[in-house]
Amino acid sequence: MTKKEYQIQQIRVMKFYCRLPEYFLEDARIFEGEIAVSTEPIAYEQRQSLKYEAISEGMPWGKLWDSAWIHLAGEFPKSWKDREVLFQLNVGGEGLLFDAQGVPFYSITNTSSLVRHYRKEYVQFGSCTTPGKFELWLEAAANGLFGREEDPDYPDQHGDFGSIRKLRYGLFRCEVWALALDLEVLMSLLHFPHTAGDFGFPKTPAFPEGSAREKQLMRILSRAVDCFAGNPENATAARAILAEALQTPALASARTVTAVGHAHIDTGWLWPVRESVRKAARTFASQLTLMERYPDYVFGASQPQHYLFVKENYPALYEKIKQRVAEGRWELQGGMWVECDCNLASGEAIIRQFLHGKNFFRDEFGIEVKNLWLPDVFGYSAALPQIIRKCGCDRFLTQKLSWNQSNKFPHHCFRWIGIDGTSILSFFPPEDNYNATLVPEMLNYGVNNFSENDTIPEIISLFGIGDGGGGPKEEYLERGIRCANLEGCPKVRFGRADEFLERLGKYENELPAWHGELYLELHRGTLTTQAEVKRNNRRCEEMLIAVEKLYAGRDLKEYPTRELDRLWKLLLLNQFHDILPGSSIALVYERTRKEHQDILESCNKLIAALANDTECVTFVNTLGIPYHGLVALPESWKGTEELASQQTADGKYYVSLTLAPHQNRVLNRKDNRKAISQTPVPVLENKLVRAEFSNTGELVSLIEKSSNREMLSAPANIFKLYHDRPNANDAWDIDAFYMNEELTEACCCTQITPVTTGALWAELSFEFAVGSSTVQQTVQLMHDTKRLEFHTSVMWNEKHKLLRVEFPTSIHNGKANFDIQYGFLERPIHRNTSWDEAKFEVCMHQYCDLADTAGGLALLNDCKYGVSVHENIIGMSLLRAPTYPDATADRGKHEFTYALMPHTGDFREAGVREAAASLNRPPLMIAGDLSAWKLPMEVKNITGSVVVETVKRAEKEDALVLRCVERHGCIGRCRIHVAIPWRTITEYDLLEWNPVGECAESGAEFSFKPFEIKTFLIKK
């Protein structure tokens, strides 16, 4: 066979394969149907209350996000008895079929956001045991091609949705369908241009081009086409010809692939969260049906929130899931409540993801999940390994770093080591995909791409299409069966991910190590996009922890367990990895804003419930460190009997308070305002620092007085506006070339006010024009702190712009420190290697610090995450303005505060973290006298910096939980005292499940390794 002849036969076979679906239906008939459309989903039980009209193929029925109930009716002829029946249904979106008892059993779709051109429209009904009339109910959803709203810059991408395409049923020509699958597998072995669809995976042929085996297989394929001869009755004979190739066994040395059914479902992304409820039901129903047909098949799903969605909305379906879990056929994956963002969520929030996630799985199913399952998260904090381990997990799976723009991550199976030294066995599926299809090309790519394939003889394949795809469909399972022992590809076996991950343990000592964060060289814009959501998320994190501590100092009978549980779960849901990062549609953020507001208002109600007295207020410091700073007074107050107060431009009054850790202070009302003065000189100065500004609003000098050191090398607090058009992924990405597209004339100072000096602080204000937007900024310096605060309000009217602020420093060092969850991370700030160069935008939480041996400059913030430190310049991203997937992302008013804090010596000893914490969590203000409030424990440092992070009621018993962390990266030692009636102190894991230390009494000492997190249960 010449090369030309081979190509001719290849085209012939491919076209034949594409024609075969025309033969799947025999004696095809059209359903009779009627439809009722609604703007919101209607429960199955209420479907009869709707108004119905007749439908037919080709009829449009709904606009984007509409829902519908479709009633279908047909008749099975007597001649169909005991023959297989097939439905062909396409409603221009997603759909879910219900049986006669109202239980969903199978889903259809013409769309998935993960795979373009995906279709799932054939439903194998089974054998016709009872001829006669029948009816079906189908719930439909008019979701667009990518399930989302249109990008205004790239219109007409919806595809065909909300339109009836197919309403057919007929006899199922099983042999023709099976013939198509036989062909598909063999075509994939030969690297045909089109096999299982345009899924975009790297194709790896099984045999060398022009080899004898390649030509031999092509001849077999051609013979099968000859045999079929356009007659579906010849399908069995054609299959017999292909069997010669399909029965040739794999090589003895072939690697093994553990194939796990999977369906990645984003809790909210290009559709509202309410649609994820139905996506979960559609997916889960289909997989339960497949389990009935394929006894070896195993499906797995993560995210307890999705299981709760199904439990609350589809209880009968949920009971079927529980049965399959008990049988071991359905695998519970991942310990988190949702697959949450791991850059932006706080350390305590990540612990709560595990706490609520693992408790749900244990309470509902009696199973402890031992792995963290995060295939699609945008980077992984170096604090995570310790949290994973202490939450009872020892395995971690992701694949997202295969998306790196610049550098190929060197490992697929490795030991990931965090900032405290904890090691977690980690695995990246080497197919670089969590939508695998079980075709030989993709399987071969996986085993050949596997970095550790010289050591480990197997890989895992996560097969099935998520996000509307419904997970695996029959074809995927059939491919896996054909590839179980097939020449030219690895050996496929269906199995569980947890068992695969456990088997990797035998190789752990031979595996390479990766220290520090798993930085994704992509999606850097998610550190900044949807700034309001990020700000409210941090406020909610801080407020929930503060309220828990407040109630932990009361009688536990008053503890609002149920309400706090509800509020935490709202927050955790909205930390999903497409919600908090800012990569979802506007409908998602409408809900997120409401739920963040619910959390904040509910927390304020819980605080207000403790007292009611307008003659005094109590301020409670809920930080585990001293608080020094300003606190706002009630609106009706003018001052206090003890402390001077000062009024801001918007009429609010503040006092300066210093409170020890977890201390309270009662203030009585009295007008005691101090006079203020004004001076035109743009200098803010106290005994510690001197800050000089130009008449154009630039910070031109910042002197740390004890060392007489100038901290700046050039004017600072410089706003810079950039054209922001990433190559792809608008809301997700900031590409490095943005730095070349600065709009140099876009920022100018339009107004400056004189310095105002009052009882507590001095301040001056500026107004800037930034593009089409305005920035109002009040710079404050308290009389007894080094913290220079920039209180900022922006009316943001941009589109595809990035606003940053920069601070050129006089400090030269090759590294800087960045606040992360429960610690800090040292990163290089040069561009020596491609790995360093790729980190042009990184994540911080409340501060970053650039210093040398003499001292440094810290940048603090109350809601920003995207930062760069390059050589001597600190820059922070403030706002973006993408148009996809939310056309109005970030437009409108924003408020935030950042601060500069010069210091001498090491930033840890200078109190940088403490200053940042004070900026983020001021004391709680309670109307009334709570002078008796006191936590029933006290933690005293002996060495190091052990900080009380969390005090709350235990999840399962009347005990207190005390969570402490060593924050300085040093060996720490502390003494814990408890007050009667509390008596014993026992260290537990982070889940509060298992003791990991001996029971001790009040006054016991405890040691901490650097950055170690310890959780104690205190009991009576």
**Residues recognised as catalytic:** 376
Is the CB of residue 943 less than 8 Å from the CB of residue 972?
yes
Bridge partners of 938?
Answer: 977
Backbone angles phi, psi at 326, to 5 degrees: -60, -30
Helix axes 315-327, 304-313, angle to 10 degrees: 130
CB-based contact 406:834 (threshold 8 Å): yes
Q: What is the DSSP string of 805-854?
A: EEEEBS---SEEEEEETTEEEEEE-S-SSHHHHH-SSEE-SSEEEEE-SS
Q: Which segments within 500-560 are labelled E, that is strand?
A: 513-515
List the beta bridge partners of residue 111: none
Region of 46 please: left (phi>0), alpha (psi -120 to 50) or beta: alpha
* CB-CB contact of 887 with 151 (8 Å): yes
926 vs 608: CA distance, rounded Å: 6
Are the C-beta atoms of 938 and 948 separated by less than 8 Å? no
| CA–CA distance, 1009 with 525 (Å, rounded to integer) | 34
Report how far Cα 914 is from the mean position of its chain's Cα atoms: 28
Task: Enter the DSSP assignment of 273.
Answer: H
Q: How far apart are CA 97 and CA 106, in angstroms?
A: 5
Rounded to whole angstroms, the Cα distance separating 222 from 733 reads 47
Asked if residue 202 has a cis previous peptide bond (ω within 30° of 0), the answer is no
CB distance 987 to 1006 below 8 Å: yes
For residue 927, the cross-strand partners are 617
Both tokens of residue 138? 């189908």
Query: Computed over its alpha carbons, how large is the radius of gyration of the chain?
Result: 31
- The rounded distance, in Å, linking the Cα atoms of 276 and 604 is 30
d(CA 691, CA 701): 6
> Coil, helix or strand for 482?
helix
Cα distance between residue 918 and residue 781, in whole Å? 15
C-alpha torsion angle, residues 836, 400, 573, 468 (rounded to 10): 150
CB of 875 closer than 8 Å to CB of 716: no
Handedness of CA 229, 231, 234, 240 (dihedral sign): positive
Query: Which two tokens mark 940?
Result: 């005293």
Specify whether the CB–CB gap between 260 and 495 falls below 8 A.
yes
Q: Which of 348, 345, 419 is nearest to 845 (CA)?
A: 345
SS3 826: strand
User: 2: which residues sit within 8 A by CB, 6+ positions away?
Assistant: none
- Amino acid sitting at position 67: S
User: Is the preceding omega at residue 981 within 30 degrees of 0, hence cis?
Assistant: yes
Residue 558, token pair as written in the block: 């008053």
Rounded Cα distance, 592 and 586, in Å: 10
Alpha carbons 352 and 348: distance in angstroms, whole number: 6
Q: Are 422 and 383 in contact (CB under 8 A)?
A: no
Q: What is the dihedral of CA 198, 202, 208, 209, to 10 degrees?
A: 50
- Sheet containing 664-668: which strands, arranged edge to edge? 664-668, 616-620, 924-927
Q: Determine contact, residues 111/161, Cβ cutoff 8 Å.
A: yes
**CB neighbourhood size of 35 (10 A):** 22
